Amino acid sequence: MNIETRRTKAIAGQKPGTSGLRKKTRVFMEPNYLENFVQATFDGIGGGAGKIFVVGGDGRFFNKAAIQTILKMAAANGATTAIVGQDGILSTPAASHLIRQNAADGGFILSASHNPGGIDEDFGVKFNAENGGPAPEKLTAKIYDATLAITEYKTIDAADVDLNVIGSTQVGDMVVHVVDPVDSYQKLMESMFDFNAIRALFADGFTMKFDAMHAVTGPYATAILEGALGAKPGTVINGIPLEDFGKGHPDPNPIWAKPLVDLMMSDVAPDLGAASDGDGDRNMIVGRGAYVTPSDSLAILAANAHLAPAYRDGLAGIARSMPTSAASDRVAKKLGIDAFETPTGWKFFGNLLDVGKVTICGEESAGTGSSHVREKDGLWAVLLWLNILAVRKQSVADIVTDHWQAYGRDYYSRFDYEDVATDKANQLMDGLRAQLTDLAGRNEAGLTVKAADEFSYLDPVDGSQSHNQGVRIMFDGGGRAVFRLSGTGTQGATIRLYLEQFSGVNGDISQDTQDALKNVRDAAHIISDMEGLIGRITPDVVT
């Protein structure tokens, strides 16, 4: 094997604390850009010698070329084995599973998640650690430091691997296994859920549309829903992964998956509508005439998980990100298990899952998952819903209403203000921070502030601390507003305002969401002086 050491200049790759690098595709295509980040990753993990890596992506433009680069660099860095999805395809949860199943040392997942793809859109690389989860902050800091210090990278001059053909080949001294991307993931799902019961549900005439948004879940959903579970052909729509996602924005929410939501609100709605994002880790669930908020979905899945074989013995605990509504906390309380509140980002669930403190976790941003992998998992959430529907034999809407009747309803909405000038966004956050100690007792828009703080997290497993994770304003009467800046935006700053109002147990669960949130919303706008600082209070995106 002829290892070439090529000189390169350092490029600050990745903000520490973000699990991966996300940039415009053309930036990744610049000479040495991807190579820098990949070499920095090998350097950050203590080298590649003797290691096994999983490699795959969501099929977006540049996916296959990036895989060839990574394979040659892995071989040059001494890796013994690479496991690659056929055609370069691996969903994020499937990659997480392959890392764990093969006791690999980590994996490179090529995706910019729900961001659009194409030569003029976004690309990304994230490194997952040996537990199958996003690299923890300690590791991303090392990788970042390495991107600043790098002077050279290693590669070999070898032919490209034929990614279309399942089987084993060599790149230099490294063995490359090209594997079916769906196979082992499907087996995992079959081991967790009652496929017979779900098959019977479909055989009884249950109807569904799954929108794969021309992204990675197409092959998975087609094989599992239409293949193994017998759902009608045509159940999966937009099921062929495309390099530009059909020019769509593969984010499963009522904005970007509007055609599906419109269908679900129409007279010809099927029983269940679901969608997943670019790399298959997010999910959206819609019943006939009933959109289920991700926060409610997490709570309902947790409350009913025991109906699926994998969770028959109950849950160890439930974790949610701080901005996610408190609905799942109420379930944990009733079940007598622990509820954890973590900062935004899946990596914070990793330790809790690794030591068995939690079984199910979720985020308001359409991410739900469990201890079966170390990533959120879109199709898993859909299959757990199907398993619950097959056992309860009720509609999605009835299950949601039953839940609110038992626990009360957490009205919830997120407002996104995109492309805000970074200094203005920082000014808004600093303005909130400056008021924190004086806010209690203040009355705005008919609501009194009960308490306010900036969220910090002490990881109960490794003792690490994360500060500045969002400003929380709690109101008397069960309202809450949270402000934080997005860590994933690629242009300017994105302010996220999360609004929540609890109905109370036995409270009014039939209000319109935005009506129920009006006071919390108005108070949040006034307290932050949003209008004065950024010149608008109307968000770009409401979910």
Question: Where does this chain bind ligand G1P (CB under 6 A)?
Answer: 113, 321, 344-346, 363, 365, 367, 486-489, 496
Instruction: Out of 211, 226, 277, 410, point to the residue binding Zn ion (CB under 5 A).
Output: 277
Q: Which of 478, 471, 535 is nearest to 506 (CA)?
A: 478
**Catalytic machinery residues:** 113
Nearer to ligand G1P, 39 or 469 (CB): 469
One-letter amino acid of 313: D
Nearer to ligand G1P, 18 or 36 (CB): 18
Three-class SS state of 225: helix
Residue 488 partner contact from ligand G1P, Zn ion, none using kind-dependent CB cut-offs of 5 to 8 Å = ligand G1P
163: which DSSP letter? T
Cβ at position 201, least distance to ligand G1P in Å: 30
CA atoms lying within 13 Å on the CB side of residue 381: 37
210: which DSSP letter? E
Instruction: Out of 41, 91, 113, 253, point to the residue binding Zn ion (CB under 5 A).
Output: 113
Q: Which of 363, 463, 478 is nearest to 410 (CA)?
A: 478
Nearer to Zn ion, 277 or 377 (CB): 277
Residue 277 partner contact from Zn ion, ligand G1P, none using kind-dependent CB cut-offs of 5 to 8 Å = Zn ion
CA atoms lying within 13 Å on the CB side of residue 401: 11
Nearer to ligand G1P, 325 or 344 (CB): 344
Determine the residue with CB nearest Zn ion. 113
Cβ at position 281, least distance to Zn ion in Å: 4
- Which residues sit opposite 85 in a β-bridge? 179
Strand locations in 371-507 (E)? 410-420, 443-444, 447-454, 457-458, 465-466, 471-475, 479-485, 493-502
- Supply 236's token pair: 């999966």
Nearer to ligand G1P, 34 or 112 (CB): 112
Q: Which of 486, 192, 523, 480 is nearest to 329 (CA)?
A: 480
Q: What is the DSSP code string of 395-421?
A: -HHHHHHHHHHHH--EEEEEEEEEEE-
Residue 155 partner contact from Zn ion, ligand G1P, none using kind-dependent CB cut-offs of 5 to 8 Å = none
What distance in Å separates the CA atoms of residue 96 and residue 500, rounded to the nearest whole number? 32
Residue 441 partner contact from Zn ion, ligand G1P, none using kind-dependent CB cut-offs of 5 to 8 Å = none
Binding positions for Zn ion, 278-297, rule CB under 5 A:
279, 281
Cβ at position 132, least distance to ligand G1P in Å: 16
Cβ at position 519, least distance to ligand G1P in Å: 24
Nearer to ligand G1P, 100 or 114 (CB): 114
Question: In this structure, is the dihedral angle defined by the CA atoms of residues 242, 116, 23 and 44, taken in order, positive or negative?
Answer: negative
Cβ at position 197, least distance to ligand G1P in Å: 31
Cβ at position 169, least distance to ligand G1P in Å: 33
Segment near Zn ion (CB under 5 A), from 108-116, 140-148, 152-160, 196-204? 108-116
Residues that bind Zn ion (CB under 5 A): 113, 277, 279, 281
